[in-house]
Amino acid sequence: MKDKLAQSLADTFNRRSFLNKASWGLGTLALGSLLPSQLFSNPNEKIVTVPNRAPKAKRVVYLFQSGGPSQLEMFDYKPYLEKMHGKDLPESVRKGQRLTSMSAQQSALPLVKSPYKFTQHGKSGAWASELMPYTGKVADDLCFIKSMYTEQINHDPALTFFQTGNQLAGRPSIGAWVSYGLGSANENLPAFIVMVSKDAPRDQPLYARLWGNGFLPSKHQGVQFRSGSDPVLYLNNPNGYSSADRRSMLDALKDLNQVQEEIYGDPEVSNHIAQYEMAFRMQTSVPEVNDLSDEPDWVFDLYGEEARNPGTYAANCLMARRLLERDVKFVQLYHQGWDLHGNLPKGITRQCKATDQASAALVQDLKQRGLLDDTLVVWGGEFGRTNYSQGKLTADNYGRDHHPRCFTMWMAGGGVKRGITYGETDEFGYNIAKNPVHVHDFQATLLHLLGVDHEKLTYEFQGRRFRLTDVEGKLVKGILA
C-alpha cells in the first residue's frame, strides 16, 4: 500500500510534471497580481461574488435576543389591556390559533397589562417602556417593526428558522450565506464572527449549527469568539512552539493537501488550506482587536461598566464595534434568558438592565464614528410573548407563553428609514392589523440592503438550488430609505 502511494506521489512530482506545473504557476502568479483575488475562487462554489446592486450596508451586526422577548413590556404599548386585565382572552381574538402545550390545558387565558410605564420618545414619537430608557434615547435612529411573524411556536425550530431560513437543522446560517455571497473585506479576520454572552441565564440552549455553514463550503461557518485570554480555541501556539515552527508546519501541510487535491479532486481540501492560513494570520489580528486598552473611559461609560468585563453582553457589543471597524462582514451576538414563562417582572427587568444600555450605545457609537450609514444593526428574538398569563395571574407576578403571530424587532442604519414604526398589532396585541412582515421577508430585505438579490444568492446541493429564503420572501419596501 505504501509503495503504491509512493509511486502515485512520484508520478505526480516527476520532472516533466514539475516543470509543466511550475510554468503554469508562474503565469498564474503574474496574472494574479493584476486581477482581483475573487476571480480565482472555485466557479462551482460561488454564484454571487459581487453585489447585484450598490449596497446600502457594507456590514451587519445582529443582536439576537434568544428566548422570545416580550414586546408587550418593552415596545408594543397596549392601553386596552389595562381595561381588560384579568379577563379571559376572547375567542374572537384568538380565532382558534395554535397554543403551546404549556398553556393549551389552562381553563382560562387571563389577559395581562404591562406593569411598566410607557412614554413616547424623540421626534418620531416611538413608544418604549421605562425598562428601555437608553433605547428610547436613540429612537429617532431606529426603525421599529411591530408586525413580525413566524409559523414556528417552539424555540428550536423558531430560532433555526430565523438563522437558516428553515425550521429543520442542516441549512447554512444567515451569516454563512452572507460570507459565501460577498466574501470578506479583511483578509486577516473571518467574514462571520459570533459571540455569546457569558452573563445571561441559560434557559434555552444554543447550538453551533446556528452559525454553521450547512452544505456551504466550511470556510463560511461562523467563528466563535470567547471571553478570556484565548478568544478563539486552538489559535495560540503550544508552549515551546514558535510562529516560525507553525509557518514551516503549515507550508508542509499545504504541500501535502495540494497533492491530495490533485489526486482526489476534493474541493474541501482548498477550504482547509484557506482556514489554516486564516488561523495563522489571526494569531496577530485577534490579540490586537481583543485588546481594549486603547479604548478611552468615555467609551466604557457609554456602553456601561460591564463593558470592562470580557464576555458580557456590553463587552460583546463593544467588541462588535471594533470588529465592524475592521470590516468584518457579519457579526452576531446571542444573549439568552428571555424565555419568561413565569416570574416575568423580575426576569425581564434583569434582561433589560443587561442589554438596553449596550444595544443603544452600539448605535450611538457607530453613528458618531460615521459607520452607522453603511452598517445594518438588527435587534430581535425568534418570536414574541402572549398577551395572556401562562399559569396563575397574581397581583405582582405572571408569565407569558410563546407567541409567533406578532412581535417586535428593530433595525438601524444600513439603508433603513430612521425614526419610523412599521406595522401594527390589534388593540389586544394578539394579531397583526397592518403590514405583516414574515421571517423570509426580513431575510430578503437584509440581503437587499447588502446589495444582494435573495433569489439569486443560491447554492446547488444534491441536485437542487437552495437559498436562504427558500421559495418565499419579499422586500419590505416600506422600511427602505
> CA 244 from chain center: how many Å?
36
Task: State pLDDT tens for residues 112-149.
Answer: 999 999 999 999 999 999 999 999 999 999 999 999 99
Q: Identify whether the C-beta of residue 182 lies closer than 8 Å to the C-beta of residue 452.
A: yes
> What average pLDDT does the segment 11-23 reach?
50
pLDDT tops 90 at residue 41: no
Burial class (CB in 10 A: 0-12, 13-18, 19+), 6: exposed
**Calpha distance 74→129 (Å, rounded):** 5
Closest of 289, 278, 364, 363 to residue 323, by C-alpha: 289
> What average pLDDT does the segment 408-430 reach?
98
pLDDT tops 80 at residue 4: no
Q: Which 3 state secondary structure label does DSSP give 231?
A: coil
Burial class (CB in 10 A: 0-12, 13-18, 19+), 417: middle
* Better pLDDT: 419 or 262: 419
For the chain, what is the mean pLDDT? Answer: 88
**Calpha distance 304→297 (Å, rounded):** 10
pLDDT tops 50 at residue 85: yes
Domain ranges of the chain: 61-479
At 453, list the grid cell. 438579490
Res 111: pLDDT: 98
Task: State pLDDT tens for residues 266-321.
Answer: 777 777 667 766 665 667 677 788 889 999 999 999 999 999 999 999 999 999 99
pLDDT tops 60 at residue 44: no
Task: Provide CB contacts within 8 A for 330, sequence distance 6+.
Answer: 59, 60, 62, 174, 175, 178, 179, 191, 192, 193, 222
pLDDT tops 60 at residue 265: yes
Res 199: pLDDT: 86
Looking at the chain, the whole-number percentage of residues with pLDDT higher than 70 is 85
Res 50: pLDDT: 58
Could you tell me if residue 95 is left (phi over 0), alpha (psi between -120 and 50 degrees) or otherwise beta? Answer: left
* Better pLDDT: 259 or 362: 362
CB atoms within 10 A of CB 439: 24
Res 279: pLDDT: 65
Task: State pLDDT tens for residues 193-242.
Answer: 999 999 899 888 999 999 999 999 999 999 999 876 677 766 677 777 77
Res 318: pLDDT: 98
Could you tell me if residue 169 is left (phi over 0), alpha (psi between -120 and 50 degrees) or otherwise beta? Answer: beta
Angle, vertex CA 447, rays to CA 445 and CA 449, nearest 5: 70
Res 1: pLDDT: 45
Res 268: pLDDT: 73
**Calpha distance 456→466 (Å, rounded):** 10
Res 167: pLDDT: 97
Res 14: pLDDT: 53
Q: Which segments of 205-342 does DSSP mark as H helices, in order? A: 243-264, 268-290, 297-303, 313-325
Res 264: pLDDT: 73
pLDDT band at 480 (very low <50, low <70, confident <90, very high): very high
CA R_g for the chain: 25
Task: Provide CB contacts within 8 A for 133, sequence distance 6+.
Answer: 356
Cα→Cα distances 398→158, 393, 429, 464, Å: 24, 5, 17, 47
Burial class (CB in 10 A: 0-12, 13-18, 19+), 350: middle
Res 256: pLDDT: 77
At 160, list the grid cell. 433555526
Task: State pLDDT tens for residues 323-367.
Answer: 999 999 999 999 999 999 999 999 999 999 999 999 999 999 999
